[in-house]
């Protein structure tokens, strides 16, 4: 038996890499006000920002568990307002999904709630407030959640890269226009400052790295260009791609994730293509060189083994997005609706027996893009020819476009289906599905 490179690195390089399995899961997650230096570089002199965070930081602590391991965290709400935690993308037990009014009661200020669940899929996930999320997430109540494979891929560094924007005044305080009608009726509340937050500041020339990109913004779609690496796209929304793919600009809607495994050729820089020019989001600098760079091919990650959908679905349904500024008339009672209904109806939109495969045609009959998120299970995107595409938990549908998704609903419970442009969800673009 030969000594594997992984075993060598995990024993010798632990001090400079992310801590290994199981060491980074806190026993409690305390949400409370914190002051954070968000503005960097030339803007840093504007000062620090009063925000909300978990365990004293925003983003909150990196929670890392091994696939199949139970995560047990006591959420302590000290924010001054009701809150809850949603574990985004985890195929979770319904009672732990963190949706007030559907899966649990609000956790009142000063109260605690024990979240305890098994994470069945390895991949890149995140957690965030699901109470007044359009304000609490924007103020900082979110963090990365990594579920590690039993046999992680052979890399020198495993780096989480949060991508976010913030809407700040020249005194570095949040502009207090949360919930303003203008944002809700248009594309959502956009920040005026954006950056990446990598989990480590430097890499070596020649390192093989795994980059886990997470878009935590309320509403901004980030087309991201990454310079300084050569490699492959290996996962989307936490789920491995069956084959690794070349990538150019990676577009992430709010809540979407992408995993890349790549070799470092220079400092890694991240740019956001605004449509007019490239806005620099930040970089991971170079420090030294790897004396033993890898020359092996980048292989697909192991599948999470989800049940494959039947090609002939049990049911076909259509979900039409309606409303918003410059949108047509719709019968919903709020700004946005699904199939003419705003917000959560008393009865679920669909009631499904466990194991039902449903093909849903998502029709965007509005003037804005929407990132539609299903709780509790992943679904396949279908291409226009009906071919099965990647597994996702959030799918971006541009204005006046249509996308079909195919989902095996095999997780019992009451599951939210909503736009992850958080202002849109708050003003009507939400419904729910019951699997029972």
Nearest to 183 by CA among 215, 220, 214: 220
Least distance from Cu ion to the Cβ atom of residue 396, Å: 10
Which residue from 189, 220, 380, 424 is in contact with Cu ion, where contact means CB under 5 A?
Answer: 424
63: which residues sit within 8 A by CB, 6+ positions away?
A: 24, 25, 26, 71, 73, 127, 143, 144, 145, 146
Report the residue number, 186 or 212, with the smaller CB distance to Cu ion.
186
Closest separation in Å from C-beta 423 to Cu ion: 8
Calpha distance 248→77 (Å, rounded): 41
Least distance between Cu ion and beta carbon 402 (Å): 15
Task: Give 215's DSSP letter.
Answer: E
CB of 421 to Cu ion, least distance (A): 4
Residues 396-415 that bind Cu ion (CB under 5 A): none
Q: Which of 419, 422, 426, 433 binds Cu ion (CB under 5 A)?
A: 419
* Nearer of residues 323 and 376 to Cu ion, judged by Cβ: 323
Mark the segment that binds Cu ion (CB under 5 A) among 66-74, 207-215, 363-371, 408-416.
Answer: 363-371
Q: Shortest distance, CB of residue 195 to Cu ion, whole angstroms?
A: 24
86: β partners: 128
Confirm or reject binding of residue 224 to Cu ion (CB under 5 A): no
Cβ atoms 336, 427 nearer than 8 A = yes
Specify the stretch interacting with Cu ion by CB under 5 A; choose among 205-213, 268-276, 300-308, 420-428: 420-428
- Shortest reach from residue 3's CB to Cu ion, in Å: 51
Q: Can you tell me the distance from the alpha carbon of 341 to that of 432, in angstroms, rounded to the nearest whole number? A: 12
- Residue 301 near Cu ion by CB under 5 A: no
Between 260 and 433, whose beta carbon lies closer to Cu ion? Answer: 433
Whichever of 183 and 212 has its CB closer to Cu ion, that residue is 183
State the DSSP H helix or E strand holding residue 426, giving kind and residue range, or none if neither. helix 422-426
Q: Which stretch binds Cu ion (CB under 5 A): 16-24, 108-116, 346-354, 423-431?
A: 423-431
Window 368 to 387, contacts with Cu ion (CB under 5 A) = 370
Task: Report CA-CA distances (Å) from 337 to 30, 34, 171, 418.
Answer: 34, 36, 37, 10
Per-residue binder mask for Cu ion (CB under 5 A), 247-286, x = binder: ----------------------------------------
> Tokens for 54?
């978990």
| CA distances (Å), origin 169, targets 80, 177, 192, 423 | 23, 11, 9, 20
421 is an interface residue for Cu ion by CB under 5 A:
yes
The residue count for binding Cu ion (CB under 5 A) is 4
Q: State yes or no: cis peptide before 59, omega within 30 of 0.
A: yes
Kindly compute the dihedral angle of the four CA atoms of residues 420, 425, 426, 427, in this order, to the nearest 10 degrees: 140
Question: What residues make contact with Cu ion under the rule CB under 5 A?
Answer: 370, 419, 421, 424
């Amino acid at each position: 038996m030969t000594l594997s490179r992984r075993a060598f690195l995990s024993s010798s390089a632990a001090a400079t890499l992310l801590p290994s399995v199981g060491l980074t899961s806190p026993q409690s997650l305390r949400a409370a006000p914190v002051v954070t230096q968000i503005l960097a570089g030339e803007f840093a002199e504007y000062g620090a920002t009063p925000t909300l965070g978990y365990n004293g930081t925003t983003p909150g602590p990196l929670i890392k568990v091994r696939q199949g391991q139970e995560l047990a965290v006591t959420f302590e709400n000290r924010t001054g307002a009701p809150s809850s935690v949603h574990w985004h993308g985890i195929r979770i037990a319904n009672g732990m999904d963190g949706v007030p009014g559907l899966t649990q009661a609000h956790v009142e200020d000063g109260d605690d709630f024990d979240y305890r669940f098994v994470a069945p899929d390895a991949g890149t996930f995140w957690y965030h407030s699901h109470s007044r999320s359009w304000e609490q997430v924007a103020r900082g109540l979110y963090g990365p959640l990594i579920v590690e494979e039993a046999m992680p891929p052979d890399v020198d560094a495993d780096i989480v890269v949060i991508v976010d924007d913030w809407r700040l005044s020249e005194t570095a305080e949040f502009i207090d226009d949360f919930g303003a009608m203008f944002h809700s009726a248009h594309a959502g509340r956009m920040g005026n400052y954006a950056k990446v937050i990598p989990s480590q500041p430097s890499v070596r020339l020649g390192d093989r790295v795994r980059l886990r990109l997470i878009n935590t913004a309320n509403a901004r779609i980030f087309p991201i260009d990454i310079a300084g690496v050569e490699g492959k796209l290996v996962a989307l929304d936490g789920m491995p791609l069956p084959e690794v793919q070349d990538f150019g600009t990676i577009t992430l809607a709010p809540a979407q994730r992408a995993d890349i495994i790549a070799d470092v050729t220079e400092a890694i820089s991240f740019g956001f293509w605004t449509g007019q020019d490239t806005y620099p989001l930040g970089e991971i600098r170079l420090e030294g060189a790897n004396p033993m760079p890898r020359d092996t091919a980048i292989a697909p990650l192991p599948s999470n083994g989800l049940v494959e959908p039947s090609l002939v679905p049990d049911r076909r349904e259509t979900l039409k997005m309606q409303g918003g500024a410059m949108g047509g008339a719709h019968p919903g009672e709020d700004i946005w609706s699904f199939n003419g209904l705003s917000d959560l109806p008393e009865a679920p939109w669909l009631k499904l027996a466990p194991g039902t495969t449903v093909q849903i045609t998502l029709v965007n009959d509005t003037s804005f893009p929407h990132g539609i998120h299903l709780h509790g299970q992943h679904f396949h995107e279908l291409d226009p020819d009906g071919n099965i595409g990647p597994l996702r938990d959030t799918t971006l549908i541009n204005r006046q476009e249509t996308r079909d998704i195919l989902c095996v609903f095999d997780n019992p419970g009451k599951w939210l289906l909503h736009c992850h442009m958080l202002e849109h969800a708050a003003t009507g673009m939400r419904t729910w599905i019951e699997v029972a």
